[in-house]
């Protein structure tokens, strides 16, 4: 039914589920900096907290507002910086 994922020594945790025809995760991240790799296109939405991202095609960090969605290309990596514990929703396309 649900898969539990844990990364970075438990500092990032998520529940995987199916949302319509898409796979999705909803999760939490402890304050800090992380690098994630992608296998598919990801649509990531900040639900709560404070997040900055550095996407592969951008030179600068970008602040993400609550309820804002950013898109990451497949087969790449991106950086995430969190000022406080934060929650997110990620849809895999």
Please, which residues bridge with residue 81 across strands?
33, 52
SS3 78: strand
Whether 35 and 81 have beta carbons less than 8 Å apart is answered as no
**What is the C-alpha separation between 23 and 64, in angstroms, rounded?**
22
pLDDT, tens only, 8-51? 999 999 999 998 888 999 999 999 999 999 999 999 999 999 99
Q: Is the pLDDT of residue 87 over 90?
A: yes
**Full domain range(s) for residue 41:** 3-92
Torsion of CA 26, 31, 34, 39, to 10 degrees: 10
**What is the C-alpha separation between 93 and 85, in angstroms, rounded?**
26
- pTM of the entire predicted model: 0.93
**What is the C-alpha separation between 53 and 59, in angstroms, rounded?**
11
* pLDDT score of 82: 98
Q: What is the mean pLDDT of the chain?
A: 96
Total domains, the chain:
1
pLDDT, tens only, 72-83? 999 999 999 999
* pLDDT score of 3: 93
CATH number, domain of 37, equals 2.60.120.10
* pLDDT score of 18: 92
């Amino acid at each position: 039914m649900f898969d539990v994922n844990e990364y970075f020594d438990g500092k990032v945790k998520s529940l995987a589920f199916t949302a319509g025809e898409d796979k999705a995760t909803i999760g939490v991240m402890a304050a800090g900096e992380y690098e994630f790799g992608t296998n598919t296109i990801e649509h990531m939405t900040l639900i709560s907290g404070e997040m900055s991202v550095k996407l592969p095609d951008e030179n600068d960090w970008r602040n993400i507002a609550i309820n804002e969605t950013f898109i990451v290309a497949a087969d790449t990596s991106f950086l995430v910086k969190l000022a406080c514990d934060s929650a997110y929703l990620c849809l895999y396309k």
